[in-house]
Amino acid sequence: MNLNKNRNKLIIIFLIILGIILVTLSITKGSVKIPIKEVIAILFNQDSVSKSHKLIILELRIPRTISAIMVGMSLAISGAVFQTLFKNPLTEPYLLGISSGAALGVAIASVFGFVNIIGGIWGTFSFAFVFAILTALIIFTLAGKNRSSLTILLLSGLAINFFLSALNSLLLYFNKDKLENIIYWQMGSFNLSSYEKIIVTMPIMIILIIVLLSKTKELDVLLLSDDTATSIGLDVKKQRIRLLLITTLLTSICVGLAGVIGFIGLIIPHIVKLLFGVKHKNVLPLSLYLGAIFTLLCDILSRTLISNTEIPIGIITALFGAPFFLYILRKTKVNAL
Partner 1 sequence: MNIKVNELNYSYVNNPIFDSINLEFSKNKFHGILGPNGCGKTTLLKTILKLLKVNQDSIYINNEDILDIERYSLAKKISYVEQNSTQLPHISVRDYINLSRYLYNDYNKETNETINNIISLLKIEKLELKFIDELSGGELQKVIIARALSQETKILILDEPTANLDPLHQVEIMNLLSNLVEEKQITIITTLHDINLALSYCDNVVLINKDQIIQGPTKEVINKTNIKNYFNLNSHFIKNPFTDKDYVILNQ
How far, in Å, CA of 299 to CA of 312, rounded?
Answer: 9
57 near partner 1, judged by CB under 8 A: no
Candidate segments 66-74, 160-168, 216-224, 242-250, binder of partner 1 by CB under 8 A: 216-224
4 near partner 1, judged by CB under 8 A: no
192 near partner 1, judged by CB under 8 A: no
C-beta atoms surrounding 100 within 10 Å: 29
Query: Interaction with partner 1 in 148-177: which residues (CB under 8 A)?
Result: 148
CB closer to partner 1, 229 vs 258: 229
How far, in Å, CA of 217 to CA of 330, rounded?
Answer: 30
How far, in Å, CA of 313 to CA of 77, rounded?
Answer: 19
Q: Which of 147, 178, 242, 281 binds partner 1 (CB under 8 A)?
A: 281
Q: Which of 203, 206, 279, 326 binds partner 1 (CB under 8 A)?
A: 279
How far, in Å, CA of 265 to CA of 253, rounded?
Answer: 15
Burial (CB < 10 A; 0-12, 13-18, 19+), residue 311, is middle
How far, in Å, CA of 333 to CA of 337, rounded?
Answer: 7
Give ∠ CA 277-279-281 in degrees, rounded to 5: 120
How many residues of this chain bind partner 1 (CB under 8 A)? Answer: 21
Query: Interaction with partner 1 in 116-155: which residues (CB under 8 A)?
Result: 148
Q: Tell me how far, at minimum, the Cβ of 288 lies from partner 1, in Å.
A: 19
Query: Interaction with partner 1 in 223-252: which residues (CB under 8 A)?
Result: 223-225, 227-228, 230-235
Give Cα separations from 111 to 133, 211, 273 (angstroms): 20, 34, 41
CB closer to partner 1, 54 vs 280: 280
Candidate segments 179-187, 196-204, 215-223, 309-317, binder of partner 1 by CB under 8 A: 215-223
CB closer to partner 1, 47 vs 227: 227
181 near partner 1, judged by CB under 8 A: no
Q: Tell me how far, at minimum, the Cβ of 306 lies from partner 1, in Å.
A: 41
- Please, what's the largest Cα pairwise distance for the chain? 67
Quick check: helix, strand or coil at residue 97? Answer: coil
Phi first, then psi: give them for residue 286, nearest 5 degrees.
-70, -35
310 near partner 1, judged by CB under 8 A: no
Residues that bind partner 1 in the complex, under the rule CB under 8 A: 87, 148, 217, 220-221, 223-225, 227-228, 230-235, 273, 277-279, 281
